[in-house]
Amino acid sequence: MKSILFLCVANSARSQMAEGLARRIFGPLINVQSAGSKPTGVSPFAIKVMDEIGIDISKHYSKPLTDIDLEAVDTIVTLCEDEVCPIVPSGRILKINRPFPDPNFPGENDEVVLERFRGIRDVIEKFLKELKLAFDQKNIHST
């Protein structure tokens, strides 16, 4: 089985949404994981906006990069924008950097934050559909 790992700092929003979306888009033949350099817990906003499109990430949990067996990972997608993304070893792993802004701005009105999360969710979904198409065209990640 091939594997994709989504990385960001907190493993609370972008990488969690990407993990949930990728499971739907790539299907069961690809092992999908997410992790962060400083995991903090899954954002309730991420859980809510994913539930709105029928993807349940309520059982997801934030994981440190050290919990991931990098020997079993084929592709790493870093999602950090302004933060410093986790550093991963060079070598045989395909690395893709696709920065998305952190949707979590504490202290704002919940509806404003939810709208920002929805926007990030939607652009991550578009990116993942394009990535799957590219992989399919290049026969990457096929079994």
Catalytic option among 18, 21, 79, 80: 80
Catalytic option among 7, 8, 18, 42: 8
Active site residue 80: yes
For the chain, give the number of residues: 143
Q: Let me know: does 38 contact 10? Beta carbons within 8 Å.
A: yes
Active site residue 34: no
Give the sheet arrangement for strand 2-8, strand by strand: 30-36, 2-8, 75-78, 94-97
Catalytic option among 53, 85, 96, 140: 85
Per DSSP, the three-state class of 78 is strand
Active site residue 8: yes
Catalytic residues: 8, 80, 85
